[in-house]
Structures are given as C-alpha cells and as structure tokens.
Amino acid sequence: MHFLTLTRLTLIIALCNAVLPTVTQAQGSAPPAVIVAKPLKDEVTDWDEYTGRFQARQSVTLQARVSGYLQETHFNDGQIVEAGELLFTIDPRPFELAMAQAEAQLQSAEAGLELAEVEFNRATELVERNVGRISDQDQARAQYQQALANLALAEADLAIAELDLGYTRVRAPISGRISSADVDVGALVIGGPSGATALSNIVSVHPIEFVFTASEAEFLKYARLNDSGERQSSRTNANPIFVQLLDEDTWDRGGKMDFVDNRLDPNSGTILGRAQFDNQNGFLQPGVFGRARLLASAPYEALMIPDEAIVADQSRSTVYVVGADNVVEQRVVTRGAIWRGFRVSRAGLEAEDRVIISGIQRVRPGAPAAPEEQALSFEGEG
C-alpha cells in the first residue's frame, strides 16, 4: 500500500516536469506572423445581375390573304430577307380574270353614268322651257344618281380585285431571317381573316432585345434611387446593361435599357424589363439565354479588400484588423460587390485600418500579432 502511493506520487511529479516546460514555452512564444494591408479606395458603381433571354424585336407570321394554289417560292430556307422582297407567288390567273371583269364593269358603269347625265340634262332643259314634265326630270335625276352609285360600286370592285391580285405575291413585311417554307409548291392555301394558311415566319435580326424580370424589392430600390436623384429610372433613361452568354466569362456585350413594364405581375411579384443590343452580324439569336449586369447605382467612393480576408458565417461577415498596439481586433463588415477583383466593404472599415489578408487562422481577437505590411493594388497597377 505504501509502495503504491509512492509510485503514484512519482508519476505525478514526472508528468508535471514534462508539462511545465511546454507551458512556459507557450507563454513565452512570439506573436504569430501575419500579412496586413490597408484597404484600396476607388470610385465604384454597383451592378445587379439578372438571368434572361434574347428575343426578336419584330416577329411576323406570314399568312395567305387569298386562297389559291401556291405557284412558286422565291427564297432559301433560313436566309436573310429584306422588307418588300418577294417570297411566295399564289397562282394569279383567277385574280387576273376577276380584275379584268371588274374593269369591264367599271367601263359599263361609266357609260351608264354618261347616258344618265345626258337624260337628266335634257329633262332639266325641257322643264326650264315649260315643255317638259317635272316628274320626268325627277325620274332622270334618280337614274343619274343611280348611275353615280353604280360607278362607285364598280370602282370599289376594281380596287378589291387589284388588292386580291396583289395578295397573290406575298412579300416580306419586315427585314430579318426567314424560317422554312411551311407549304410546298402546288399545295392549296386558304386565305382570309380567319383560318388562313401559315406560309412561314420572319424574325428581325438587328437590333435584338434582351428581356428579364426584377423582383419587387429591386423595383422599389430603383424607384427610391430615382426619387433621390442617385440613379435615373430605366423608364426615362437608357441605363447601360451588359450581357454575358453561357459560354462567356467577360462582359463585353453592351446595350441600353429601353422599356420597363407598367405594373408588377401579381402572381410572381416581378416586373418585366427590356434592353436593346446591337446585332449587326446576326450572332445573337432569339431564345438564347444570358446573364445581364444592370447599372444599379451612381458612382461612389468605396473601400475594398481581398475577398479571402473576410470570414463569413450565416449571420455576419467579419475581418481581423491589427491595431496600433499590434493587438488583433475582430471587425464586422458589410460586404458589397466584387470590383476590379476586390470585395467592396460598405461599412465597418476605415481607410487606415490594417486588415489581415494572410495568416487569419493563426490569430484570435485580443491577442498580439506580428504584422508585415503589404500594399494592395489593382491588376495592372503597382
């Protein structure tokens, strides 16, 4: 029993002797080395990002306006066509005959009017000489007026016949890219205001539109910026916008806002926006999706630091700052957008703060650190 007690005491003493040097060494160790830098300052503009798609500024479905057999197609499927270019010909022969008939009816009406005018003038002269009856004059006047109406009717019939004949030659109403022909040569096409045969469709190429939706919160933000004069509304000002396609990593495609809808969708709580982009080479196609960056603020001075210097959790973002006494301080910051490769700090930092940009894992708030200062610079500078 006495022997066991002595053995335990010996072990305790040995353990204490082993731990004491470690504790002493920890208490006397040098502060951790860290790299610090002062925030960069620059004039910043905020941009909001949206997902949307391109659509044609104009889109027209070509439909037959008269019935007949398709005689000829004058384009290649998918080609660019110009406004007024001949695209389809419907057999014009029945309409040429109808027009000839209308012309003959017009000539007959003109002859009838000429005769009615002569009879009316004769009847009027006899009445004036007191040798004719007024009833004969009235009858001649009625026949003359009927001849005038027949002439007007014949002129209208001729105009309709001319229109119908013109409709046998289907021309492009707009410039753009045409789809394939939906009807083969020799097929019967049906014309008219309802149930007309669709022949093809054309979409405009240049310029092209990009449409997207913004949330109610974003709409209110823009409205308040407009009221304060910090950013004009896209309803009245062609605010800049840039689009990036799915396979691109730059924002080189610039356009201008040209429309904001007049109400929010009550089902989705979003509002439609539209921008216009140059597309002279026809590269951008209707239906293509892209990501857009829309001007979201007026230029303002901002501080920014490397994004990796920020420690973020679900509730806040913090950075570690080394004070004048080289003691580490934890600082809560408000993160903004990435600008020229650096993260904008909207609040929480001062221009002279020394922010730890490397060695964060070795420090803790209230403990000393050994800072080595490094100057930050934008890419291509410094």
Q: Which CATH architecture has domain 93-167?
A: Orthogonal Bundle (1.10)
| Euclidean distance between the first and the last CA atom of the chain, given in angstroms as a whole number | 76
Residue 340 confidence class, pLDDT cut points 50, 70, 90: confident
Give the percent of the chain with pLDDT over 70: 92
- Phi and psi dihedrals of 339, rounded to 5? -135, 115
| Buried-exposed string 306-344: b where 16+ CB fall within 10 A, e elsewhere | beebbeeeeeebbbbbbeeeeebeebebebbbebeebbb
Q: Which two tokens stand for residue 277?
A: 């982009």
Of residues 379, 316, 327, the one with CA closest to residue 354: 327
Residues forming CATH 1.10.287.470 domain(s) in the chain: 93-167
Residue 18 has pLDDT above 50, yes or no: no
Give the residue-averaged pLDDT of 269-291.
95
Stretch among 82-91, 129-138, 168-177, 291-300 having the lowest mean pLDDT:
129-138
Of residues 316, 320, 381, the one with CA closest to residue 349: 320
Residues forming CATH 2.40.420.20 domain(s) in the chain: 33-45+300-373
User: What CATH number should be reported for the domain whose range is 33-45+300-373?
Assistant: 2.40.420.20
CA distance 341 to 348: 20
Residue 1 has pLDDT above 90, yes or no: no
Residue 8 has pLDDT above 70, yes or no: no
CA distance 280 to 257: 18
Beta bridge partners of 200: 62
Residue 9 has pLDDT above 70, yes or no: no
**pLDDT given at position 22:** 41
Q: Which two tokens stand for residue 61?
A: 């479905």
Stretch among 198-202, 237-241, 298-302 having the lowest mean pLDDT:
298-302
Give the percent of the chain with pLDDT over 90: 73
Residue 30 has pLDDT above 80, yes or no: yes
CA distance 252 to 131: 94
Of residues 352, 251, 286, the one with CA closest to residue 55: 286
CA distance 90 to 251: 48
Stretch among 124-133, 202-211, 253-262, 306-315 having the lowest mean pLDDT:
124-133
Residue 380 confidence class, pLDDT cut points 50, 70, 90: low
**pLDDT given at position 11:** 47
**pLDDT given at position 35:** 94
Residue 46 has pLDDT above 50, yes or no: yes
Residue 73 has pLDDT above 60, yes or no: yes
CA distance 226 to 183: 52
Which has the higher per-residue pLDDT, 282 or 137? 282
Residues forming CATH 2.40.30.170 domain(s) in the chain: 47-57+207-295
Residues forming CATH 2.40.50.100 domain(s) in the chain: 64-90+169-203
User: Starting from the edge strand earliest in sequence, which strands make up the sheet with 68-73, in order?
Assistant: 169-171, 86-90, 68-73, 188-189
Give the residue-averaged pLDDT of 97-110.
95
Residue 381 has pLDDT above 80, yes or no: no
pTM, two decimal places? 0.71
Residue 372 confidence class, pLDDT cut points 50, 70, 90: very high
User: What CATH number should be reported for the domain whose range is 64-90+169-203?
Assistant: 2.40.50.100
Which has the higher per-residue pLDDT, 1 or 144? 144
Q: Does domain 47-57+207-295 have CATH number 2.40.30.170?
A: yes
